[in-house]
Amino acid sequence: MDRGLILAIFSIISGWALILLSLLVIKVLILSTREGSFFYSLMEVGMSFLTLISFLFIWYRLLRYLFLRTKVGDSGPGGT
Amino acid sequence: MRPFLFFSYWQYVIKMHLAVIVLMASILGLLFSEIFHRRIIPRLISRNYLSEDVHKPDKPRIPEPVGPAVSLAFIVSTIVLAPLVKDPILLMGIAASSGISSMIGLLDDISPLGAKSKPLLLTLPAFVMMATGGLIPRPILPILGRARLYYVYWPLLMAMYTVFSNSVNMMDALNGMLPLSVFGATIPLIPVILMTGRDEALISLVLLLSVMFPYYLRNKYPARVFGGDSNSLFIGATLAGISASSNTEAFFSISLLPFIVSGFSLIVSVGGLVERREIAKRPVVVKDGMIRANPDRAAPMSMIAILTSSKPKREPEIVMEVALISLFSGILSCLTFFLLTPR
């Protein structure tokens, strides 16, 4: 197993964790806001999207950083 | 009066078990796909519809696009099977929306569409699915359970069609990579769809896998045919239709993570929607049949570039790794449904 394959598997597991984490945050948001009001429902949706986008941004930056390190890094040849 | 109502008599007379219909779907899909492949490939060769296989040292010319053989087989099989299911309109809706995507892909194969107009056009199949009236805007989500998205669901459905279609399209880069990774990502989802009780979605998925099989045999390394956008966009739209009809959008998104990660990374790293032919720096470089990530720091990131970031690899090796990763994400999605989703 080489570092490229490990990075690819990491991208899948971290992407999956990102989805679950976003949903967990949404659940907390739903539980903490009042039910029944259209304004609150709209806020929930807006907050959910903001959460997802911010997590996505952090995830992409991390993946790109690791990718560049693996690609042009000087930590030895590929392979574990 | 609802169309296909005259068939309802036969539904009760025949009383076919789901397993028999699924078996019929797989046989019909294989049969029609094989027939259409045999009819279409010689015609493509005689009319000189050939494309270069850029990853081979001798750059052979391969018939393209064979996508209509796959999509036509799916549509014809659906028409045959529609009278036997509970909701024939939904089943036909999945086929019709996928057919529209295939047509858009064919248009792109013949005369390339713009990088911005293609994703916009790919929202059209979502309207067909909405028109069937068979969609319930209550997707099943991990951790949350059944959500109520009566307003947000419809724009999300349009976005899902374009995301799935484009992600699958971007994965169609190496010989046999697209069909093999779709097999890996979707086969573990069969128990998930079974649990939702939407027979139409299950039949469509089995049909999709069976029509793709003759294509895979011809597209695997070394490829004898290329599907083109008419194939990849069709497959993406069919997956979107299946997930929407069974409310398993989130689980399909998890199982298609290798596709979405690759597509998303590529789009972000080139700075927006850019046509494949217009990307200045390629994500990978090919030398003596070996593929490796472009050493240029500014080169875009894709799944193939990630896999070849530490060492160059041969085409079949990359395809097998992508298929295994897809299988892994498919199993992850299945486990998420059974272990982390309230029902």
d(CA A70, CA B284): 14
State whether residue A14 sits within 8 Å of chain B by CB: no
Where residue B4 falls (left for φ over 0; alpha for ψ -120 to 50; beta otherwise) is: left
Q: Which of A3, A8, A64 sits opposite B325 (nearest CB)?
A: A8
**The predicted structure's pLDDT at residue A50:** 84
Question: Residue B239 CA to chain centroid, in angstroms?
Answer: 5
Q: What is the predicted pLDDT for the residue at B14? A: 53
From CA B164, how far away is CA B172, in angstroms rounded?
13
pLDDT of residue A76: 46
**Which residue from A9, A23, A77 is facing B144, i.e. has the nearest CB?**
A23
Residue-wise DSSP of B258-298: HHHHHHHHHHHHTTS---GGG-SS-SEEEETTEEEE-S-TT
Write down the residue that tokens 């042009």 correspond to. A72
Amino acid at residue number A14: S
Q: Which residues contact B92 (CB under 8 A, 6 or more apart)?
A: B4, B78, B79, B82, B132
Whether B96 and B78 have beta carbons less than 8 Å apart is answered as: no
From chain A residues 50-79, the ones with a CB under 8 A of any chain B CB are 56, 60, 63-64, 67-68, 70-72, 77-79
Q: What is the pLDDT along chain B (343 residues), one digit of tens a residue?
A: 454 555 555 555 555 678 889 999 999 999 999 999 999 999 999 999 999 998 888 889 999 999 999 999 999 999 999 998 889 999 999 999 999 999 999 999 998 888 788 889 999 999 999 999 999 999 999 999 998 888 889 999 999 999 999 999 989 989 999 999 999 999 999 999 999 989 999 999 999 999 999 999 999 999 999 999 999 999 999 999 999 999 999 999 999 999 998 888 888 877 776 666 667 788 899 888 899 999 888 888 999 999 999 999 999 999 999 999 999 999 999 999 999 999 7
**Rounded to 5 degrees, what angle do the CA atoms B74, B203, B147 make?**
115
What's residue B328's pLDDT? 97
| Contact (CB<8Å) A15/B250 | no
Place of tokens 């500014």: B298
Sign of the C-alpha dihedral computed for residues B147, B151, B157 and B163 taken in this order: negative
A27 closest CB neighbour out of B144, B264, B265: B144
Find out whether B230 and B98 touch, Cβ atoms under 8 Å: no
**Residue-level pLDDT at A80:** 40
Give the minimum alpha-carbon distance from B189 to chain A in angstroms, rounded to a whole number: 16
- Checking ipTM against 0.90, whether it exceeds it is no
Considering only CB atoms, which chain A residues are within 8 Å of B265? 60, 63-64
CA distance B338 to B142: 9
A43 touches chain B (CB under 8 A): no
Question: How many interface pairs between A and B have CB atoms less than 8 angstroms apart?
Answer: 96
Inter-chain CB proximity A9 and B325 less than 8 Å: yes
Task: Please list the ranges in chain A whose pLDDT falls under 70.
Answer: 33-38, 73-80
> Which residues in B lie closer than 8 A to residue A72 (C-beta atoms)?
295, 297
Rounded alpha-carbon distances, angstroms, from residue B51 to A53, B11, B45, B280:
38, 46, 10, 20
pLDDT at B277: 65
pLDDT reported for residue B122: 93
B295 Cα to chain A: minimum distance (Å) = 7
Q: Which among B142, B265, B297 is the nearest to A63, CB-wise? A: B265
Give Cβ neighbours of residue B122 (< 8 Å, ≥ 6 apart). Answer: B101, B104, B161, B162, B165, B166, B233, B237
A4 contacts in B (CB within 8 Å)?
293, 306-311, 313
Residue with tokens 């990579």: B177
